[in-house]
């Protein structure tokens, strides 16, 4: 209980400090901010003095879980955020829905709103796949086919990501919705030449607005990020969502984009 209260107090303190810092950045000239930082260093006025940080269990050169926390709990920090995003947009998951690899989230969040569920796989051999295609070049998938496309943690694996986004736009029906999640700050999940495919990109909200906005139109996309310094560190160490307090999980700091989420609508 004491640790929980301490954690909540630290969360409130960091949120307040971050708010004050952002206001100061907007209102104070750079020269004054630099003078304040110099004074802070010389008088050792840091909120946590230099040399007093206790790294505890995190002071190690290898992650606590090297496999994204799967050995600790099925709900990793990343999965917690992905499911929160999809839950908020569950009403979009309806009609004919396309998902990558398996219909996990189609089934979980679409329910009886889904009239047809399709699964796309990059190569042959997936028994759940109804479509085998490379999103970079998939002329055999007809235009205007899907009411909703769910693509989670996939775009970072595609080198020609701009072409893949163009394909996703093409195969959406007018007024169709794409729900996409991608890595921001994270462990590299695939290595070219070691695994079946490489992980080429990690995204930011800024790069996502440019990539998706150029195809769907800026007015038709909503880009957001999930994560903060604590949950980013927890995720990098492979801790599960259950090992972080709910209010800590739900605090999103735009300076620490653990995951980047995009909801894009194809104009009617």
Which pTM value belongs to this model?
0.84
- At 36 the pLDDT is 76
- At 172 the pLDDT is 98
Structure tokens at 229: 């310094």
- At 179 the pLDDT is 98
- Block means of pLDDT (10 residues each) for the chain, 268 residues, are 53 64 79 78 72 88 87 92 98 98 97 97 94 97 98 95 98 98 90 73 97 98 98 95 95 96 97
Beta bridge partners of 146: 172
Kind of pairing, strands 95-100 and 146-152? parallel
What residues contact residue 231 under an 8 Å CB cut-off, 6+ apart?
77, 244, 248, 249, 256, 258
- Which burial class, exposed, middle or buried, applies to 184 when counting CB atoms under 10 A from its CB (0-12, 13-18, 19+)? buried
């Amino acid at each position: 209980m004491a640790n929980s209260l301490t954690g909540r107090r630290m969360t409130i303190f960091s949120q307040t400090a971050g708010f004050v810092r952002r206001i100061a950045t907007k209102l104070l000239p750079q020269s004054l901010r630099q003078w304040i930082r110099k004074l802070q260093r010389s008088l050792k006025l840091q909120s946590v003095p230099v040399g007093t940080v206790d790294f505890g269990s995190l002071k190690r050169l290898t992650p606590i879980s090297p496999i994204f926390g799967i050995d600790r709990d099925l709900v990793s920090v990343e999965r917690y955020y992905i499911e929160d995003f999809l839950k908020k947009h569950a009403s979009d998951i309806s009609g004919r829905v396309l998902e990558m690899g398996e219909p996990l989230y189609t089934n979980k969040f679409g329910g009886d709103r889904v009239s047809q569920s399709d699964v796309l796989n990059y190569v042959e051999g997936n028994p759940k796949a109804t479509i085998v295609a490379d999103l970079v070049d998939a002329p055999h998938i007809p235009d205007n086919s899907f009411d909703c496309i769910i693509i989670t943690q996939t775009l970072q694996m595609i080198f020609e990501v701009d072409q893949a986004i163009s394909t996703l736009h093409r195969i959406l029906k007018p007024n169709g919705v794409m729900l996409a999640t991608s890595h921001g700050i994270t462990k590299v999940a695939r290595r070219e030449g070691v695994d079946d495919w490489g992980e080429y990109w990690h995204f930011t909200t800024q790069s996502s607005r440019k990539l998706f906005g150029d195809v769907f139109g800026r007015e038709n996309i909503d880009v957001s990020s999930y994560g903060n310094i604590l949950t980013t560190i927890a995720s990098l160490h492979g801790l599960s969502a259950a090992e972080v307090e709910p209010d800590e999980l739900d605090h999103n700091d735009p300076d620490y984009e653990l995951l980047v989420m995009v909801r894009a609508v194809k104009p009617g």
